[in-house]
Amino acid sequence: MTAKATVLCGAVILLAGCEGRQSALSPAGEDAAQLKFLFLVMLAGAVVLWLALNGIFYYVTRRQPKAFRLKHPDRLILGAGVIFPTVLIGALLVWGLSIMPQQRASGDGLTIRIKAEEWWWRVEYWPEGATQPVIAANEVRLPTGSRSELRLTANLYIHSLWIPALGGKMDMIPGRETVLTLHPEKPGIYRGQCAEFCGASHALMAFETVVMPPEEFADWLQAEAAPARPAADPAGEALFRDEGCGACHAVRGTDFTGQTGPDLTHLASRASLAAGIMQVTRDDLKRWIAHTGDIKPEVAMPAYDWLSDAQLDQLATYLEGLK
């Protein structure tokens, strides 16, 4: 491959990374659009500075010494080497700080409390005036057209919540509450990711963010608040009980009230399984239950590898019914 072709291929691959549902350069909301603009202006400033300084460097080192007779070389150094970069970077800093207030604007509707657990997300929706939350896990849903407030904390380690297509990232710190507000504009499913190294399964700590029009969101929230529908096949539910799953997982509408693990009430209506790394399909459910630790190192849930294939099928049937 020629050098030109290599550079071209490299550029195409790099630019391809800018598209998609986990990219700060494909904004789906007001905050992310502003951050993208900030990035592009900063990039342009950096390019101008880089070109100017390299041009001067080239001029003073490569020109013939005889042709190069500066009367005041100190002025060049002072002007181009100190004043120009200081003014340019200073201007970018002042402008960058001036757009921060919008990124810190307060919410005007829904509050969502999210707690980072050991490699999954505990999520509570608090609509305005609510006295108790709608509990979910491992997925964030947001309505378009308003600014939702995400109140964040963590269990044991420091994590960071980042949905690049919707806005900036925010640390999640044990014993402290941090706030991130987001104003999504484009319905769709965007990937979020833990953005702070937090241990063995940091890279496997993701989630889907479903952005919906307000009416659709209200319908979804109402459905999410309802208890789980009764199991169609009692065998899976009985096995769930016998294996003690309900000691860690809650399924509203049943006597499973465990709080250690994710709430499973509407598991099958979520866009992903095991915090963004698997699908809610029969195969993935069975694989996850039997091999948790292999799939997500140091996860708290033990691998139920003693269950037969038929038993895993029964559990999967039960979980697939939790819509």
d(CA 139, CA 150): 13
- If one counts every other C-beta atom within 10 angstroms of the C-beta of residue 302, the result is 11
CA separation (Å) from 269 to 91, 125, 220, 288, 318?
48, 16, 10, 17, 13
Whose tokens are 């057209």? That residue is 145
In whole angstroms, the minimum distance from the beta carbon of 154 to ligand CUA comes to 8
**Pick 199 or 293: Cβ nearer ligand CUA:** 199
Secondary structure class of 164 (helix, strand, coil):
coil
In whole angstroms, the minimum distance from the beta carbon of 191 to ligand CUA comes to 14
- List 244's β-bridge partners, or say none: none
Instruction: Out of 150, 194, 228, 275, name the contact with ligand CUA by CB under 6 A.
Output: 194
In whole angstroms, the minimum distance from the beta carbon of 47 to ligand CUA comes to 32
- Which residues are within 8 A (CB) of 238 and not within 5 positions of it... i.e. 6 or more apart? none
Alpha helix segments (H runs only) across the chain: 3-16, 30-62, 73-76, 84-98, 100-103, 214-225, 234-242, 282-290, 292-295, 309-320
**Pick 171 or 243: Cβ nearer ligand CUA:** 171
**Pick 294 or 298: Cβ nearer ligand CUA:** 298
**Pick 58 or 197: Cβ nearer ligand CUA:** 197
**Pick 195 or 231: Cβ nearer ligand CUA:** 195
Interface with ligand CUA by CB under 6 A: which range of 27-35, 45-53, 196-204, 280-288?
196-204
- If one counts every other C-beta atom within 10 angstroms of the C-beta of residue 141, the result is 23
Q: How many residues bind ligand CUA (CB under 6 A)?
A: 8
By C-alpha distance, which of 43, 54, 53, 62 is closest to 83? Answer: 53
d(CA 214, CA 211): 9
Token couple for 235: 């065998």
Token couple for 250: 């809650």
- List 180's β-bridge partners, or say none: 150
In whole angstroms, the minimum distance from the beta carbon of 198 to ligand CUA comes to 3
205 binds ligand CUA (CB under 6 A): yes
Instruction: Out of 31, 124, 196, 208, name the contact with ligand CUA by CB under 6 A.
Output: 196
Q: Please list the helix, strand and coil fractions of the chain in percent, rounded to the nearest 5, in that order.
A: 40, 20, 40
Token couple for 121: 């997300």
In whole angstroms, the minimum distance from the beta carbon of 197 to ligand CUA comes to 6
116 binds ligand CUA (CB under 6 A): yes
Interface with ligand CUA by CB under 6 A: which range of 87-95, 162-170, 194-202, 223-231?
194-202
Binders of ligand CUA among residues 149 to 188 (CB under 6 A) are 159
Which H helix or E strand runs over 123?
strand 120-126
**Pick 169 or 202: Cβ nearer ligand CUA:** 202
In whole angstroms, the minimum distance from the beta carbon of 18 to ligand CUA comes to 23
Alpha helix segments (H runs only) across 63-192: 73-76, 84-98, 100-103
Interface with ligand CUA by CB under 6 A: which range of 68-76, 90-98, 192-200, 305-313?
192-200
**Pick 252 or 296: Cβ nearer ligand CUA:** 296
In whole angstroms, the minimum distance from the beta carbon of 205 to ligand CUA comes to 4
**Pick 160 or 311: Cβ nearer ligand CUA:** 160
Instruction: Out of 169, 202, 241, 282, name the contact with ligand CUA by CB under 6 A.
Output: 202
Contacting positions for ligand CUA (CB under 6 A): 116, 159, 194, 196-198, 202, 205
